[in-house]
């Protein structure tokens, strides 16, 4: 899926037909708008910023844990230059001794931040070199 535009509640994009083997299913192909919380992707970064600038203010820093390993994207807000994406997120897990554990309700965090390290190919894990360099 290619995201072309974003509003408060919807993303405009273009998708190709579903080329996965089975089961056969009808999938829309073409341009259109979808709910902003319907598109999902992995973010291979632990650091979110107030603006699309790695030298800018960090609004989220999960150390060595990627944001979508500890939670999920709840909405796509904007796409920027050089692979930046502005998303709403929720952090629902933490890594304890290398194992993921659910956070209690009073420690779940939500926010909005700019990230790099987006995996744009749904067919792969997109393992790549870390974008979290200081």
Mean pLDDT by 10 residues, the chain (134 residues): 55 49 61 72 91 95 92 88 91 93 96 87 64 71
Coil/strand/helix, residue 107: helix
Q: What DSSP designation does 73 have?
A: E
The 10 Å Cβ neighbour count of residue 15 is 15
CA distance 98 to 81: 34
DSSP element (H, E) containing 77: strand 71-79
pLDDT at 75: 86
pLDDT at 79: 84
Provide the b/e sequence for 44-75 (b: ≥16 CB within 10 Å). bbbbbbeebeeeeeeebebeebbbbbbbbbeb
Radius of gyration of the chain (CA): 16
pLDDT at 35: 73
Strand pairing class (30-35; 10-15): antiparallel
**Are 9 and 35 in contact, with CB atoms under 8 Å apart?**
yes
């Amino acid at each position: 899926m290619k995201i072309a535009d974003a509003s408060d509640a919807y993303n405009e994009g273009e998708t190709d037909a579903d080329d996965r083997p089975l089961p056969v299913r009808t999938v829309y192909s073409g341009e259109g708008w979808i709910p902003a919380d319907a598109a999902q992707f992995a973010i291979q970064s632990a650091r979110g910023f107030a603006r699309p600038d790695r030298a800018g203010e960090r609004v989220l820093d999960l150390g060595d844990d990627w944001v979508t390993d500890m939670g999920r994207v709840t909405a796509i807000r904007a796409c920027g230059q050089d692979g930046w994406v502005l998303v709403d997120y929720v952090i629902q897990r933490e890594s304890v001794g290398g194992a993921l554990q659910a956070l209690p309700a009073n420690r779940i965090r939500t926010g909005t931040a700019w990230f790099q390290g987006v995996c744009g190919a749904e067919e792969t894990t997109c393992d790549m070199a870390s974008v979290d360099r200081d």
